[in-house]
Amino acid sequence: MSVTTDQKDPLRNAVLLRDGLRKGPNQRIHFDEGWYTFSCYLKADKNVQEGGIGIYVNLNGIGDKGLIDSPISYDNNLVADYFSVEPDTWIRKYVTFNVVKAGNGIPRVELAKNGGNIYFSSFKLEKGKMMTPWCPNVADKA
């Protein structure tokens, strides 16, 4: 389960806390074909196991039609980058992936292994292969 904390990330944005394995906060998004980069700020407490955090993006395919082609994809519908972070230290992480067939997807951050808490904020999904500095979405200011 994810909850809002009273913490702020390095950009002074609100921070979510996730404990437990699997599904972190997410939002279903429609992806057109092309390259995308999904990034966020995160930190972990000292109890998170090595390689225990993942940034995931999965697209729902029909049958065995793969929707994502990526060098770090272990199947054709999911991108997952597993990593470790220095405890209690904010870092910005990202994953880049190529959507080869338009579809709906769910970008998210979650624990890959049980144990510990992760804190994350300042999500950014952008077209292209490069991560750019975080900035607020103009639609969010309305």
How much of the chain exceeds pLDDT 90, in percent?
A: 17
- In this predicted structure, what is the pLDDT of residue 122? 93
**Is pLDDT at 86 greater than 60 in this prediction?**
yes
Q: Which of 32, 40, 28 is nearest to 128 (CA)?
A: 32
Instruction: Tell the burial category of 24 from Cβ atoms under 10 Å away from its Cβ (0-12, 13-18, 19+).
Output: buried
- In this predicted structure, what is the pLDDT of residue 56? 74
- In this predicted structure, what is the pLDDT of residue 93? 87
- In this predicted structure, what is the pLDDT of residue 65? 47
Pair of tokens at residue 53: 């955090």
Please give the model's pTM, rounded to 2 decimal places: 0.80
pLDDT digits (tens, 9 = 90+) for 14-68: 998 887 666 667 778 888 899 999 899 988 887 777 767 777 777 765 444 456 6
**Rounded CA gap, 30 and 133, in Å?**
23
For residue 48, what are the CA distances in angstroms to 66, 69, 98, 113?
32, 29, 29, 8
Pair of tokens at residue 1: 């389960």
